[in-house]
Structure 1
Amino acid sequence: MAGRVGRRETLGGAGVLVALLIWVDRAGRWPLLLGAVALSAAGAAGWWLWRAGRRRRRADRQGREEDHLAAGQRSLPEMDAMSRQDFARCVAWLCRRDGCTRVQVSGRPGDLVADVTGRLPDGRLLVVQCAHDAPGGSVPRDDMQKLVGTARLHHRADVALFVTTCRFGKPAQDLAAAHGIVAVNRDLLELWNDGTPLEMLIALGGAGQGDRRHRARWKRAYGA
């Protein structure tokens, strides 16, 4: 019975279509019909593209969230075992955790020591250089000099961080203090990783207080 009803509905639909085509042919309405068909096809294609784009954006967002979770908090021994690029991703995650926005990881040749860039919660531009070295090593003065020379002249950073898994040699430390570079050695990295906010690390050094609008927004948000 159901099969007969289905066949009758199919035949009925086909009959209506044939009658419509005969009417269009006798009335000379072919251009109108073709235009309607083309318009419907364009609308359907546009709807399909919108849905596909929406699915792609959702997948991208989920992928980024999974990446953030995968690059989340790690112990110092786990950081020691990372590649240089993975360590930069871990530092970027710490920046996001503390409210930074527009955080991007570069770490490619030609990045001019900007392994991580982003915006602090008050809008200041942050540039981070990451040194993934053995725990017993030390960052030399020349490496710090590269960050001093490019952080503000090229990147125009308000705050520059040098984050390392080891320590800083005294010449590098003195250079950082003289030029307002926030030198995050292994001990400070452990504190940051354990929950100390980035703003507390920046208070140890760095420069750039943001413009008047950013400072006003910061005071409203934090009462500082």
Structure 2
Amino acid sequence: MGRKRRSATARRRAARLKVFGIGGLVAAVLLVVFWHLVWVYVVVAAAVAGVVAGSWMLWRRDRTARREDRRWRERDAVAAGHRTLAEVDRMTGTEFEDFVAALCRRDGCTRVERVGGAGDNGADIKGVLPDGRTMIVQCKRYAPGNAIPAREIRDLMGALRHHRAEVAVFVTTSRFTRPAQDLCTEHGIWALHRDLLGLWNNGAGLLSFPGINGAGQGDRQHLARWKRTYQK
């Protein structure tokens, strides 16, 4: 019984293939015979089909790229959120730059690239803020007991002009001297010292720091505790 059923199914399939084959042959013959009348329509149909297929492929490729970029940002956000400042202190300079670049991407910055190294002209990272402004970032993974002097802020100001960027960000695992902090406030430098870096790493957005510009390092008592903790 099963063999008869399979045999009947095979015969029906063969019959359909035969009909399709004959139909295709007839269509080919008609196309050849009437080619002088229909060639324009065939060419137009082929062109439209090519445009549709190409557009569909570009759309699929863009969709895939956007999905991969979103996954990349999500992985960076998760990884960055799991790092502690103690782990950051153990990073190399290059690893610290990659870490800061990942935080920038997490917060919606685009075209982020690490350019630190010889000949970087004062910028370790370049990118575009979510609001469209171009930025450069200087990263200094100093021991917490050290402080960023004013000359490094002046170097960043020069790099801002050299790279023709709109925003300059200084990120450090340390703190800023008073003259350096004053320069940041006067010239609108986004200065993220150790405490602000900790907040950034824990989820605060980059765009929440422009109004601080190096402030928030505490009063004299806070500075005394800082020195007791780090300057050993």
Question: Shared topology, TM-score over 0.5?
Answer: yes
Matches within 5 A, 1:17-96: 17-25=24-32, 28-72=33-77, 73=81, 74-82=83-91, 83-93=95-105, 95-96=107-108
Q: 1:77 to 1:53 in 2, by over 3 A?
A: farther
Deviates most, 161-170 or 181-190: 161-170
Structure 1: 4+ residue segments shifted above 6 A: none
Provide the rounded CA distance (Å) in 1 between the counterparts of 2:163 and 2:123.
Answer: 10
> In the alignment, does 2:118 pair up with 1:106?
no
Q: Which residue of 2 aligns with 1:119?
A: 129
Shift of 1:91: 3.1
Q: Which residue of 2 aligns with 1:192?
A: 200
Contact 2:190/2:213 (8 A) holds in 1: yes
Deviations 1:23-46 (A, max 9, x none): 455xx4224455454444434433
Provide the rounded CA distance (Å) in 1 between the counterparts of 2:163 and 2:28.
Answer: 69
Q: Which residue of 2 aligns with 1:16?
A: 23
> In the alignment, does 2:209 pair up with 1:201?
yes
**Aligned-partner SS, 1:163:** strand
Q: Which residue of 2 aligns with 1:99?
A: none
Q: 1:80 to 1:94 in 2, by over 3 A?
A: farther
Provide the rounded CA distance (Å) in 2 between the counterparts of 1:21 and 1:181.
Answer: 72
Contact 2:111/2:128 (8 A) holds in 1: yes
Q: Which amino acid aligns with 2:156?
A: L
Provide the rounded CA distance (Å) in 1 between the counterparts of 2:28 and 2:200.
Answer: 74
Q: 1:199 to 1:88 in 2, by over 3 A?
A: closer
Structure 2: runs of 5 or more not aligned: 1-7, 215-232
Provide the rounded CA distance (Å) in 2 between the counterparts of 1:202 and 1:66.
Answer: 28
Q: Which amino acid aligns with 1:155?
A: R
RMSD: 3.2
Q: Which residue of 2 aligns with 1:2?
A: 9
Structure 1: runs of 5 or more not aligned: 97-101, 207-224
Q: Which amino acid aligns with 2:170?
A: F
Q: Which residue of 1 aligns with 2:190?
A: 182
How many residue pairs end up in the alignment? Answer: 197
Provide the rounded CA distance (Å) in 1 between the counterparts of 2:113 and 2:148.
Answer: 20
Shift of 1:154: 4.3
Larger radius of gyration: 2
Q: Which amino acid aligns with 1:173?
A: Q
